[in-house]
Structure 1
C-alpha cells in the first residue's frame, strides 16, 4: 500500500473543444492512441544520442536530448531539463493527445517554479519516436528512460518523482510498482484502467489494459492524486 495518498479535486471542467478534437483513447481489447503532429524533429548525429531541435525553439545549454533504445527495439526521444539548484528530478509521462513539442511551455514553467530537473519523453509512435503506440511499449519506454536517468545523470530513486498525466498514469504506476524508494508519485487525471474509462465495472478483467487500480496497491511512497470531478479530456 502507498504510505500516504493526498487527493486534490479541482472543480468541474468540461472542455467541448477537446472533446471534439480528441478521439476516445481505448477500445475494450486494445489501446487506441490519438497522436498529434510532432513539433520535434530528429537530426543525424553520432553515438546513441542524436541532436534534436524543437521547431521554433532555440536550443539551450540546460536541455539535453536523448534517443533512447527500448527493450522492444524502438528508439524514443527524451529530453532532460536541468535546473542548476535542483534537488529532485521529475520523470514526466504525458497524456494521450500530447507530445514533447506541445508540453514544452509546461516543462519550462515546472522547472523554473519547482526548481527541479525534468525528464520527459515521447511514447513509441509519438512525435519523433519510432514504433507503434501500445500499452506494452509505454512500459518499455519508461523503463528505458529511467535507465537513461540513472546512467547519464546518476539519479537515485529517493530523489525521483514520477508524474503521470491521464494515459501517462499507466507507465508511471508500472514503474512505481517496481521501485521501492521513490520520493513520490503524482497522478494527474489518472485512469483506473482502460475498461473503467468506458464502463463503471467493479472487477478487473484479464483483457483490461493499464490496470492502475491494482498496481497502486503495491506502490510504497507518498502519492498525490489530482483530478477534477468532471472531465472529458483524456
Structure 2
C-alpha cells in the first residue's frame, strides 16, 4: 500500500474514533493551545500579566507590554478574546514619534499567530516588528488560546480575526493601511480575511495550501488524503489567494519539514500576477527559524513590501517587481546545500540590525513540533481514546 493510501486510511480510522465528526478531526491535528503565557485584567484596557517566568524577566517583553494597549473583543461567535495593539507613539522615541505623526497614519500589521503559541509569547516578536519597521502591530488571540474564552476551531479563528479587523476600522484605521500577516496555521484566517474584506496587503509566513493538504505524503499522486477526505478540508488558502485584490508577499523556508516548501511556492504562483509581489524563499530556513536564519534579509523583504503597500495606500500606482524561480521538485521540495553554501545555519546578530541589542530572552517556538504532520504523511498514526474525548478540542498527545 502506498504512502498516500496509508495516510488516507489513518485519517479514516481517526474519523471513526472521533464519532464521524469532521470538526473534531480537523481540531485533532491542527490546534494545540499551550498553557496560557499571560492573563489580562477584565476591564477594557486591562494590563497584560505574564505567567511565564522567562517572559516576565525579559527586558524585551517588558518593553513590549509598556508599548501596548489591551482590548477585549466579542466575536460574532459570542466569544471574548483579547487583542493587543502596539502603538507607534509608544514604540518610538518622542522626537521620532512626532516626526512620524506628520507623515500620516501608520500601517497596522494584523498578526495571526501559529497554533502552538499565544499573543503573550508573541509580544517580543511584535515589538521587534513594530520598532524595526516603523509600523503598528496588532495581535488577536484565538478562542481557546491564552486568556480567550471558547474552544479552538477554524471557524472561531475566522471570527476572532474579523473582530480585530472591525475594531481597527472602527477606531479610524483605513482598510488600505491594514496588512494581514498569517504565520503557519495563521495563514488560514489571514487569507480568509483579505479575500472577503479590503486590506492594504497580505503577508503569508510559512503558510499552508489548505489544512488537509499538509498531510499529503505525495501531493500529486492519487489516493492522497486531500482528495479522499476533501470534506475535512479547511483553510483553503489555495483557492482564496486567487480572490485577493491587494499585494501578497509569501515567505517560506525551503527546508521546512512541518509544512513543506511547495505549499508556499504554489500559493505564490496561484496569486493573480498584478498582486504577486516577489516571494522570500530562504534556502537554509525551516519552519520555525525563517526570521532567525537571516534577520537582515527577512526584515529587508518585509520593509520593501510594506513600503509599496504604503505608496499604494497614498494613491500611487505600484506594479510588483518581477521575479523568477526554478520550479522545485513536487515531492521533496527541498533544496540541498551546494558546496558553496555552508551546511550550518548562520544566525544573524540581532544587534547588527535591531536598534536594541540582544539579550537572554525566551525562545519562542511557533508551529507544531510534535511530529503529527510528518506522521500523518507517513501513515504512522494511532489514536488513543481518552475519557474527555467528547470535548472536541483535540490534543496532540492523542496522535503518535
Instruction: Compute the TM-score of the two structures, normalised by the length of structure 1.
Output: 0.81
Of structures 1 and 2, the one scoring higher in RCO (CA 8 A, sep 6+) is 1
Of the three residues 74, 80, 84, the one matched with 1:75 is 80
Structure 1: runs of 5 or more not aligned: 1-25
| More moved, 112-121 vs 85-94 | 85-94
- Matches of 1:134 and 1:27, distance apart in 2: 8
Conserved? CA contact 1:76–1:121, under 8 Å: yes
Q: Distance in 2 between matches of 1:189 and 1:127?
A: 22
Q: Whole-Å Cα distance in 2 between the matches of residues 28 and 218 of structure 1?
A: 28
C-alpha distance in 1 between matches for 2:200 and 2:195: 13
Q: Which residues in structure 2 correspond to 1:1-234 (within 5 Å)?
A: 29-32=25-28, 33-45=31-43, 49-55=44-50, 56=56, 57=62, 59-60=65-66, 62-84=67-89, 85=100, 87-152=106-171, 154-180=172-198, 182-199=199-216, 200=219, 201=224, 205-231=230-256, 232=258, 233=287, 234=367
Distance, in Å, in 2 between the alignment partners of 1:96 and 1:44 is: 24
How far did 1:31 drift? 2.3
Distance 2:106 2:83 in 1: 20
Aligned residues: CA RMSD: 2.1
Length, aligned pairs only: 203
Alpha carbons of structure 1 residues 31 and 44: separation in structure 2 relative to 1, 3 Å? closer
- Structure 1 residues 43, 87: CA separation in 2 closer, same or farther (over 3 Å shift)? closer
Can you give the 5+ residue segments of structure 2 that lack an aligned partner in the other structure?
A: 1-21, 51-55, 57-61, 90-99, 259-286, 288-366, 368-400
Shift of 1:147: 0.9
Contact 2:178 2:201 in 1 (8 A): yes
Measured against aligned partners, the alpha-carbon deviations of 1:151-210 in whole angstroms (never above 9, x if no partner) come to 23x111111111000000000011000124x22100000001111100125759233111
Q: 2-side partners of 1:116 and 1:95: how far apart?
A: 21
Matched position secondary structure for 1:67: strand
Shift, 1:145, TM fit: 0.6
**Change in 2 beyond 3 A, CA 1:28/1:70:** closer
> What's the secondary structure of 2:230's corresponding residue?
coil
Higher helix residue share: 2
Deviations, residues 9-40 of structure 1 (Å, cap 9, x unaligned): xxxxxxxxxxxxxxxxx999422311112121
Residue 17 of structure 1: aligned partner: none
Cα contact 2:23–2:232 (8 A) shared by 1:
no
The ranges of structure 1 where at least 4 consecutive aligned residues each deviate by more than 6 angstroms after the TM superposition are none
| Distance in 1 (alpha carbons) for counterparts of 2:39 and 2:239 | 37
Q: TM-score, normalised by structure 2?
A: 0.48
